[in-house]
Amino acid sequence: MRIGYGEDTHQLIEGRPLRLGGVAIPSERGPLAHSDGDALLHALTDALLAAIGEGDIGALFPDDDPENKNRPSRDFLRAARERAEAAGYRVIQVSAAVILDRPKLGPYRDSIRASIAELLGISPDRVGLTFKTSEGLALEHIQVRAVALLLPLDQL
């Protein structure tokens, strides 16, 4: 059994689209980022890579490589899943906490869980997703923390 932890933070600025877990969220502000800035997919990608001891998202997709500019973050998580499967592991469960003051994310929880579940090839009930405000301490940022549990393919 393997576990991995990952996190991501992005500054939020006006006029940028907000994507979380591959889902577009109506918002006045979105992340300043080289890619699409999907902090949830970035944190999950790092959690998977950490679980198999393979570095992190920036090692796989350097942010100074023009090929990665505005790249959909789904590609990152898919690549991490492929790495995990190549190493002999299957993702069993993930859990993430998103810290964001606005907008409220509750209405999008199920669609985000479904999107992540599809990317990871697991059922949505194996995607835990919680939301917290920063109580006004980080109004200009989004932060995500995520964990992943993987099992060796021969133990499934």
The site for Mg ion (CB under 5 A) is made up of: 8, 42
- Of these partners, Mg ion, ligand C5P, none, which one is at the site of residue 94 (CB under 5 to 8 Å by kind)? none
Q: Which does 100 bind (CB under 5 to 8 A by kind): Mg ion, ligand C5P, none?
A: ligand C5P
Of the candidates 76, 60, 48, the residue with the CA atom closest to the CA atom of residue 146: 48
102's tokens: 């606005």
Distance CA 119, CA 99 (A): 22
9, 39 Cβ separation under 8 angstroms: yes
Residue 104 interacts with ligand C5P (CB under 6 A): yes or no: yes
Distance of CA 1 to the CA centre of its chain: 21
**What binding mask, one character per residue, do residues 44-73 give for ligand C5P by CB under 6 A, x or -?**
------------------------------
User: Can you give the binding site for ligand C5P, defined by CB under 6 A?
Assistant: 100, 104-106, 131-133
